[in-house]
Structure 1
Amino acid sequence: MVAVIKTGNSVHNIFNYNENKVKEGIAECIGEGNYPLEAAKLTGVMKLNRLLKQNSLNENVKRNSVHISLNFDPSESALSNEKMLEIASQYMQKIGFGNQPYLIYRHYDAGHPHLHLVSIKVREDGSRIDMQNIGKNQSEAARKEIEKMFGLVQAQEKKKTRHELVKPVVLSKIKYGRTESKSAVQSVLDHVLPAYKYKSLSELNAVLGLYNVKADRGEENSRIFKKNGLVYRTLDENGKPVGVPLKSSGFYSKPTLKFLQKKFLLNTKTASHKKRIASAVDRIFLNSCVSLSDLALKMEKEGINIVFRKSEGGQLYGITYVDHTSKCVFNGSDLGKPYSSKLIEQRCRLSFEKEKEKPIPILSETSKSNKAVSLENNKENVFKDLQQDLKSLDFKSAVEKMIEVITKVENDVSYVPNQLKKASKKKRVRRRSNNL
């Protein structure tokens, strides 16, 4: 069992986090501690007000909320709610929160069974619970006792052998909640970090994103960014982070920011790697008219993934190419202007405009033969009219029609373009001499 303890300055936030999970159907409130009614009989307002009312007894405590998660080994998925309630009760008692009001939520959004406990730091008499080093001291001792008491997998033993339990290379996207998050992310990192050639965090994330993983430094003003920290996050199908961030130092391979920065300097990419991607793009535009999505699909067949970076409004502002053959990652501008996001979008648009242009119709051999047949039919009709005129003794009319048919030009084969005409010879004019 692994316990994670966090404190905050808003009871509303941690309460709403867990209740929203319940509404989504991926969690349930299975119990409570020191409430007047059972969890099943409590409304949302009753749950929250009990915590807020006791917190109001000491307004000097700013970080007054407590959020604890108890995480069990994936092999312990058969743990019943009753046993989990016993474990939660024992744990809260041993860390000094046995008399505090708390709520117990069981979550089903990860590949391992786990609980979330919501409580407060203010006691019933208004005093504050000291949580200095609670994780290192009280929580660690409670964990070991509970593991023996309930026959749970020991976290310490698990830590020693965790590198042996990592699954083989992940060849598909991680689906949050279906696999144990940390081992799945570790598998992706083991596959990507040593093999691919990337020179920045954004290039690395272009590859990791294909497996629903992201290396995140946080916002520039955040504590993790200022301390040069790094976490790895699991993404949902829309590319949004889900679940708890995983510290880079927590993985056995230690893929920290310092480690990655060294990789950025060592990774080398050559012009031939660029040429392969550029040639693949040019061939696709040469042979067919494509949209952005069609281009991505056709490039996948070449072993190259295209990662489009779009704004919230759907506007394309960046493009990255991931070549799984050479294991190289390039931004569009690195290949040249024709392969940047702006010009790729223009090339897709132009290809469709050319497709819409209607070509000038060319008379086929079939249509030519049809025209000749039509002409012959016209002649036959004329001669039939002549015969009719002769029978009616309209001799003059018959002669006129015959002359018209005979003199009618079907194809003027004598016509020669001016460019092909031979220059005419000028006759020399002899001038008489005045001496004669």
Structure 2
Amino acid sequence: MVAVIHQSRHFRTVLNYNEQKVKHGVATCLEAGYYPVGPEHLNFHQKLRRFEKLTELNQRAKKNCVHISLNFDPSEKLSDDRLREIASIYLDKIGFGGQPYLLYKHEDAGHPHVHLVTTNIKADGKGIRMNYLGENKSKPASVEIEKMFGLVAADKRQKRQVFQVKPVDATRVIYGKSSTKQAINNVLVKVLVNYKYASLAELNAVLRQYNIAADRGDEKSRVFQHGGLVYRVLDADSNKVGVPVKASLFFDKPTLKNLEEKFESNKLAKNDPQSRARLKNAIDLYFLKGDKTLEGLVSSLKNKGIDMVLRWNEQGVLYGVTYVDHYNKIVFNGSVLGKAYSANAIRERCQYMGANEGKKQNGQRAQLAQNGQGTRGQSRENAGSFSVQDGLIGSRSGFAEVLLDTGGTAEVMDWELKRTKKKKKKVRLSL
């Protein structure tokens, strides 16, 4: 069992997400814990009002809505009564016993899972501490429940499937098959809150994965001149279709002004060195292999939960790249991530770092050796059996030997570091 915990400050948005699933027949409200009546006798406003009465007791809490999903192995067939029992025990073990909650069973994924909606504000107005809740309480509770009910223990592969394969729990929008506004809202609810983006272009890099775009319009349009923003549906070819929906019509008010405030707050979150290191390592590891094509890089990163959004000019030249890391839910423009990861650098590394470049470099070293220069580089080249052409796969020496061999350093060194140091000119003073 894998538990995923999210915090929010908008109960209406979270409830609306689950209730819309029920309306479309892909979810069922199984339980209304600590409500006066069962879920079948409650409407949307009655469910919402129960939480609002508690949140009114504590105005200082910035986030008072707790949204938890419990994910089970696809081989497990759990009855509704068993799911109710598991949800109740789980809430007790993480310190939410006695809190009102709603339990939804979702059937729109390849594995069984339920959603819990509750609040961290208690009846006396005090808040439940959420710091390290996942590590200190949720993780041990999940292990105990697995043993108690004989559930399949969650391994790293299952956790990656929950966190990475489906980056957001929102259906891709296809125009004409669902209500346009509601379909867009289902995606915005997940993307706007969970992802870290610092510009409208970075936000669109995520939204375009779900056939949606935040559009300011043409520079001469009234929407652009008055600082407006609309959301539009895209078809399979990224063409805008249907009627645009104003940002002000959504409950969260994702207008350009509000988004710009979020851009500023996200800039600090994007300075996390670990998030940057994961992206850089994934890209650099690909270029250590023999095959160095743009298509191969896109496919390799996608397997790691990273999408590359490429931008081409009219001549078919790549001029922009944005990386969307669905695991850490963060977006980086290539130039911001580093010069070696910008569009120009990626294009050069994919075109000129293949087998032909390796042959060219070897030929230059041989010519320098014949002229009496670079003999040290030649001896190093003959000493090791690893080259850029061979790559790490298929080399006669092991991976550890290649990394520790100083003889091969000149060949596998990053292209940015191959710079000759300029000699300083000596100034002679005449007597």
TM-score, normalising length from structure 2?
A: 0.43
Q: Higher Cα Rg: structure 1 or 2?
A: 1
